[in-house]
Structures are given as structure tokens and as C-alpha cells.
Amino acid sequence: MFIVESYAVAVALCFVTMLCWGSWANTQKFATQEWRFQLFYWDYSIGVLLLALLLAFTLGSNGEAGRAFTADISQASGDAIRMALLGGAVFNLANILLVVAIDIAGMAVAFPVGIGLALVIGVLANYDPAQVNSPALLFLGVGLVVVAIVLDSIIYRRVPGESSTRVGKGLTISVIAGITMGFFYRFVAQSMSFDFADPEPGLMTPYSAGVIFAIGLLLSNLLFLVPLMYRPISGEPAKPGEYFSRGTPRLHLVGILGGAIWATGFCFNIIAAGKAGYAVSYGLGQGATMVAAFWGVFIWKEFKDTPRGTGHLITAMFACFLVGLGMIIYSNL
């Protein structure tokens, strides 16, 4: 299977993760102009699984290092499989809440607050002193991300026409999503051997863990998504039959594309973790907050009607993210 051999390549894959995780929600913005996000999300979940399987049978099954996908997954212990399934379910709960927050507050708010908070918690939850050369730089970088989150919430409160109830709901759901998402990665990491070239018996390599994770995500829709179809937090209910009656091939493909984009970032991230370490790999990937904020601010114009002076806050927010991410990168050089 394909294994990352250098830190530079690992960082490059984490930047791909950043772009993918920060951009997939554009497909939601497009699709939900025509139908409810709950219907979009079924296609998104299918896209995650399809991409994970594609990588497992290509990159995960070629090469002489490590174990091929089929051999790896067949020897995985029940505990390892349960951890990866749990990781998929925990992520799914967080991601559904994030999608709801995007629906209410937009990408420029939901991502910096939700994913930024997930970055902070995820780095702390996955921190291993043996995998980080400079803890001080790592935690300074995380601290700057926290500052960026606070700035983003201040900007959102300046958006005209937003009721205090809607502002509170959007921020609250983003915070809950971020706290939940901060823990999913740890479960996936526990299912994998840290040595991908010579993996421990019973544990999985990234490709197998990615597939099991995706299965856990899809199956947990029955617990988390179906109730939201009948009792949504925001907007009208989405009847299950509408998935077939209203869904055009284009709408379904948009949702599947969204899932494939996210899954590409996820799989590359856990592949890179073998060289970069779980805390740094996850932290860099969650720099997606900056990418999503860029889409929300400059493409979707979500802050276009804010009062004079807001531009300085937006600039400061991006600066904090950029400098913070730089510190996270250098913490393991």
C-alpha cells in the first residue's frame, strides 16, 4: 500500500485535507437551494463510503509495504472495528449539527466556530509528546485559532437583519458540533497501528480504517439523520419519499461529490498521520476553517452587509488562523 515517507509529503497531504474539508460544504450550498439538507446528506454519506472504497482498492492495495486492504481488514480485531465504527458515528453526529449550523448561519460562521473548536479539542485529545518536537509552538498555534474563533463570532453578531435568537441558535449549534467533532479522530486513531509499514496484528492501516469509518457514518444516519427529517431544528420537515421523487441525477451527484471531497481529505489525513503524528495531522487538516471562511466571506458574500470596520476584524481573523496554522506545522519540524 502507499505509505508517506517524508514529513514534507505528509504536510502536503494535510493541505489537501484542508482544501477538501473547507470546500465540500459548497456542494451543500448549491444543493440546498433546491431541496432540504437532510436529503443532500444521504448522498453525501454515500459519497464518503464510495471514495473510501476507491482508495482502499487502489492506493491501499498496491505496493509492497504494509498490508493490502483485504488482508488488513480480514485480520482486524473486533475492538479495532468498533473504534472505527464509533469514530464514524461520532463524526456523523457532529457533522450533521455542522450542516444544520451552515443552514442557519452560513459557512463563514459555522466552520470557523465549529471546526475551529474541533481543531482545539482534537489537538488536545490526540496530543502525544513523543510525536511533537515543540509543544510550545503547537499550543501557541492552537491559541491563535481560539482567538480567530472569537473574532468570527463577534463578526457574526454584527450581521444586520439577524435576530438575537437566530444568532444564538447558529452559534450554539456550531459550538456543540465543534465539541463533538473534536473527539471522533481519537477513536479512529485507536483503531489503527501507528507503524503503517509493519502494522500491529489486530489493528488496521488507514485504508481499512477509512472504509469502516465510512460504514459507521452511513449506518448512524438511522440514529441521527432520520429524526431530523421529521423534526428538523430549522426549516420544514423532509419526507423520505422526496429523496426519490424530487432528487434529480444532478442533485444526487452534487451530494455524492460533496462526500467524496470530504472523504479524500479524511483518507489523506490519516495516511499522513503516520509521518506527521495524529495531533499535527488533525490540526493542519482542520485549517479547513480558514478555507471555508474564505468561501463564505469572498464567494458567498455572507458578511457583505456588516457595518464599517468589520473588514479589519475579518483580516485579523484570517491572520490568526494563518499564523496559528504555521506554528502547528513548525511544531514538528
Cβ(159)–Cβ(313) below 8 Å: no
Kindly give, in sequence order, each residue whose CB lies less than 8 Å from that of residue 143, ignoring residues fewer than 6 positions away.
324
Q: Give CB contacts under 8 A, 24+ apart, made by 73-77.
A: 73/204, 73/208, 73/211, 73/212, 75/201, 75/202, 76/191, 76/202, 76/203, 76/204, 76/208, 76/212, 77/202, 77/203
Kindly give, in sequence order, each residue whose CB lies less than 8 Å from that of residue 209, ignoring residues fewer than 6 positions away.
80, 84, 188, 191, 192, 270
Q: What is the pLDDT tens value at each position of the chain, 333 positions in all? A: 899 989 899 999 998 998 998 898 899 888 988 888 899 999 999 999 999 999 999 999 998 888 999 999 999 999 999 999 999 999 999 999 988 887 787 776 777 788 778 878 888 888 888 878 899 998 998 889 888 878 877 887 777 765 566 767 888 898 999 999 989 999 999 999 988 999 999 999 999 999 999 999 999 999 999 999 999 887 788 888 999 998 999 999 999 999 999 999 999 999 999 888 887 888 788 777 778 778 877 877 777 777 888 889 989 988 998 898 889 878 887
| Overall pTM surpassing 0.75 (yes/no) | yes
- What separation in angstroms does the CA of 187 have from each of 31, 87, 273, 301? 31, 5, 14, 36
The CA-CA-CA angle for residues 125, 89, 212, to 5°, reads 95
